[in-house]
C-alpha cells in the first residue's frame, strides 16, 4: 500500500495499488481458474519455479501504442523483457524447419530446441502455414513451436498468436505483404524473430520489438552457405568497428547505419547485439553449424532441406545439434561429420549458380 498525505490535513491516507506488491504463491496461481496464465507464457514454460517473477516484471512495464482501439492485442501486458528472456532460452540450440508431423518428431528426438512450422513447397504466393498443421504438431511435441508470417502482415501475426505458437518469425522467406512497413511487434505478447543482413537492419528490427535477430543468407534451400557467412561477417565486423570508436563518434555512426542511437550505444557497451542472434540459410552440415557458432552467433536455423534426399535425417539433424553444442570440440565435430557426404549429394550447388571467387567486387 502507498501512504500519501493530504494537502489540507496531515492525516495519512492509504491508496490501494493497481497491482499488488505481494504475488500469490505458485501453488495458488495454478489453483486459480480466473488467472489465465497461458495467455502470458508458453505452455512449456508454466512449470518453472519462479513464474511469479515474470508477472511482477509485467506489472512494471509501460503501455505502448496500439494500431487502433479495436486491436485484439493488449499492449499493456506485453513486456519486452519477458519476450527477450524467452528468446534467450533458445541460445546454444538449433531451430529446425519442419512441414510434417513425422519431421517434427524426428527433430524433437534429435535434440532441436525449437520447431519452425512451414507448409510443403507450393506454387504461387507463400503465406503463413495452415493453423490446423500448427495445432496438429503442437499436440504431439513438447518443445517450443515457431511459425512464419509475412513481412508487415500483422493480421497473420494475430492469427498465429491466437493459435498458440511460442514464437513468430516475420520472415522475408515468405511473400512480402507490406514493402514499406514492418509489424509493430510491441503490440504482441509473443516474441518475434526478424531477419537482417547488416547491423543497421538488426537494430531497426530490435527497435520495432524483435526479441531475436536472424542473420539471413541463402533463401533458395540450395545448401550454399556463402551468403550467410558474408552477412554474419558484416554484422560482426560492424560491431567490432563500433567497439573501437570514441563516444563522440557513435552519433555519426548511428546516423550512417540508420539505427537508433540508444541501441547503437548499448551494442557498443555490450560488445554484441542486445538480443539473441541466430544465423539461417545454407546450414546443412555440422561443419556449417559450427562455423556460424565460431563466428559469434548464438544458434542456427536449419532448413527443411535436411529432410530431403537423405537416408537418415535423424543422424543429420542430430549431428548439427551436437555441432552447435560443441562447436569448439574438433573430436565431436569429426564424429558427427562422418558418413554424411552421400546424404548431402542432393544439396550441392551447381557450378553455374556459383559466382567465381574475386568477381563479386571482393
- 286's CB contacts (< 8 A; 6+ apart) are 319, 320, 322, 323, 333, 336, 337, 340
Question: Does residue 320 lie in a domain region?
Answer: yes
Question: Does residue 287 lie in a domain region?
Answer: yes
The tens digit of pLDDT for each residue in 298-345 reads 999 998 888 876 678 899 999 999 999 999 999 999 999 887 765 555
> Alpha carbon 106 to chain centroid distance?
21
Q: What number of helices (H) and strands (E) belong to the chain?
A: 13, 10
Secondary structure string (H, E, C) spanning 102-166: HHHHHHHHHCCCEEEECCCCCCCCCCCCCHHHHHHHHCCCCCCEEEEEECCCHHHHHHHHHHCCC
Tell me how far CA of residue 166 lies from CA of 12, 18, 87, 90, 117, in angstroms. Answer: 47, 29, 10, 12, 11
Q: In the prediction, which pLDDT does 42 show? A: 53
CB 117 within 8 A of CB 98: yes
For each successive 10 residues of the chain (362 residues), what is the average pLDDT?
44 42 42 43 49 42 36 57 92 93 94 91 79 93 94 93 94 86 92 94 94 87 85 95 93 94 94 94 91 95 82 89 94 87 53 47 42
Question: Does residue 65 lie in a domain region?
Answer: no
State the burial class of residue 127 (Cβ atoms within 10 Å of its Cβ: 0-12, 13-18, 19+).
middle
Question: Does residue 256 lie in a domain region?
Answer: no
Rounded Cα distance between 212 and 301, Å, is 12
The total of other beta-carbon atoms located within 10 Å of residue 143's CB is 18
Question: Does residue 353 lie in a domain region?
Answer: no
Parallel/antiparallel/unpaired status of strands 276-280 and 299-302: parallel
The reported pTM is: 0.74
Q: Which domain holds residue 202?
A: 78-226+274-343
Q: Where are the alpha helices (DSSP H) in 257-312?
A: 261-270, 286-294
Q: CA angle at residue 54 from 48 to 58, to 5 degrees? A: 160
Q: Which CATH number belongs to the domain containing residue 95 in this structure?
A: 3.20.20.70
Question: Does residue 315 lie in a domain region?
Answer: yes
Domain count, the chain: 1
The total of other beta-carbon atoms located within 10 Å of residue 68's CB is 6
Strand positions, DSSP E, the chain:
2-5, 12-15, 94-98, 114-117, 145-150, 167-171, 192-196, 212-216, 276-280, 299-302
Question: Does residue 198 lie in a domain region?
Answer: yes
Question: Does residue 155 lie in a domain region?
Answer: yes
Amino acid at each position: 500500500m502507498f501512504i500519501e498525505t493530504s494537502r489540507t490535513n496531515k492525516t495519512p491516507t492509504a491508496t490501494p495499488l493497481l497491482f499488488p506488491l505481494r504475488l500469490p504463491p505458485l501453488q495458488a496461481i495454478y489453483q486459480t481458474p480466473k488467472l489465465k496464465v497461458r495467455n502470458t507464457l508458453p505452455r512449456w514454460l508454466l512449470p518453472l519455479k519462479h513464474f511469479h517473477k515474470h508477472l511482477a516484471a509485467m506489472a512494471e512495464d509501460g503501455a505502448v501504442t496500439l494500431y487502433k482501439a479495436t486491436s485484439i492485442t493488449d499492449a499493456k501486458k506485453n513486456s519486452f523483457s519477458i519476450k527477450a528472456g524467452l528468446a534467450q532460452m533458445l541460445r546454444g540450440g538449433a531451430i529446425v524447419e519442419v512441414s510434417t508431423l513425422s519431421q517434427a518428431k524426428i527433430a524433437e528426438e534429435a535434440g532441436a530446441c525449437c520447431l519452425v512450422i512451414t507448409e510443403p513447397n507450393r506454387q504461387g504466393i507463400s503465406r503463413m502455414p495452415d493453423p490446423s498443421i500448427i495445432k496438429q504438431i503442437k499436440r504431439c511435441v513438447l518443445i517450443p513451436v515457431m511459425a512464419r508470417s509475412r513481412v508487415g502482415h500483422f493480421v497473420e501475426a494475430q492469427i498465429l498468436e491466437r493459435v498458440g505458437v511460442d514464437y513468430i518469425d516475420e520472415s522475408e522467406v515468405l511473400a512480402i505483404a507490406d514493402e514499406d512497413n514492418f509489424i509493430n511487434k510491441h503490440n504482441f505478447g509473443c516474441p518475434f524473430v526478424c531477419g537482417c543482413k547488416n547491423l543497421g537492419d538488426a537494430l531497426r528490427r530490435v527497435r520495432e520489438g524483435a526479441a531475436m535477430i536472424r542473420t539471413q543468407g541463402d533463401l533458395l534451400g540450395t545448401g550454399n552457405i556463402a551468403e550467410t557467412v558474408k552477412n554474419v561477417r558484416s554484422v560482426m565486423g560492424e560491431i567490432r568497428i563500433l567497439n573501437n570508436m570514441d563516444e563522440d563518434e557513435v552519433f555519426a555512426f548511428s546516423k550512417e547505419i540508420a539505427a537508433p542511437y540508444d541501441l547503437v550505444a548499448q551494442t557498443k557497451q555490450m560488445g554484441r547485439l542486445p538480443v539473441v542472434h541466430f544465423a539461417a540459410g545454407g546450414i546443412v552440415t555440422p561443419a556449417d553449424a559450427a562455423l556460424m557458432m565460431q563466428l559469434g552467433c548464438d544458434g542456427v536455423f536449419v532448413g527443411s532441406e535436411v529432410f530431403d534426399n537423405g537416408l537418415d535425417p535423424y543422424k543429420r539433424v542430430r549431428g548439427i545439434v551436437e555441432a552447435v553444442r560443441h562447436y569448439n570440440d574438433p573430436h565431436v565435430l569429426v564424429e558427427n561429420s562422418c558418413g554424411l557426404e552421400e546424404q548431402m549429394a542432393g544439396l550441392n550447388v551447381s557450378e553455374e549458380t556459383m559466382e567465381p571467387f574475386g568477381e563479386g567486387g571482393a
